[in-house]
């Protein structure tokens, strides 16, 4: 179909819809002080912490932008900066208990979206979609092995 958007745009629309639902679920739970840009940074923080330069690279923003966003979410109590045990000169951005409390709310929202997609597409097509996207990740995700 000539009017059909490119596949990447279709994937982005689905991603953005999920992101919107997660932020709405957080707001419904009384967590309304996180912007989409801040949420994208929070989502990229590894359990053991992540360096600011790695967050900037993963979020595809400048180090200054990532620093600004981390400053905001640190002031809100969602992250802390701690020394990097691998390099005394470096600091890690780590989730706080306040941020960890968000994870079940976000996970429930994602599960709800995926259940709706499964109901719409059917289990077989949803499994095929998940498998196809997981296989594409093998060649598109530079952070897969980190």
Distance in angstroms (rounded) separating the CA atoms of residues 86 and 37: 28
- Tell me, which fold does domain 33-95 have in CATH? Arc Repressor Mutant, subunit A (1.10.10)
Inter-CA distances, 89 with 84, 85, 86, 92, 104, Å: 8, 9, 9, 10, 33
Contacts of 133 (CB under 8 A, 6+ apart): 11
pTM of the model: 0.86
pLDDT at 32 over 60: yes
Domain residue extents for the chain: 1-31+102-146, 33-95
Tens of pLDDT, residue by residue over 39-83, are 999 999 999 999 999 999 988 899 999 999 999 999 999 999 999
């Amino acid at each position: 179909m000539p009017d059909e958007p490119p596949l990447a745009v279709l994937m982005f629309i689905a991603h953005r819809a999920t992101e919107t639902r997660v932020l709405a679920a957080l707001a419904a739970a009384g967590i309304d002080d996180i912007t989409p840009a801040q949420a994208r940074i929070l989502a990229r923080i590894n359990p053991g912490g992540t360096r600011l330069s790695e967050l900037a690279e993963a979020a595809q923003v400048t180090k200054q932008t990532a620093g600004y966003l981390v400053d905001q979410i640190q002031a809100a109590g969602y992250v802390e900066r701690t020394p990097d045990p691998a390099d005394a000169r470096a600091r890690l951005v780590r989730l706080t208990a306040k941020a960890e409390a968000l994870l079940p709310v976000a996970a429930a929202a994602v599960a709800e979206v995926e259940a709706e997609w499964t109901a719409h597409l059917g289990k077989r097509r949803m499994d095929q979609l998940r498998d196809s996207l997981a296989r594409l990740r093998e060649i598109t995700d530079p952070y897969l092995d980190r």
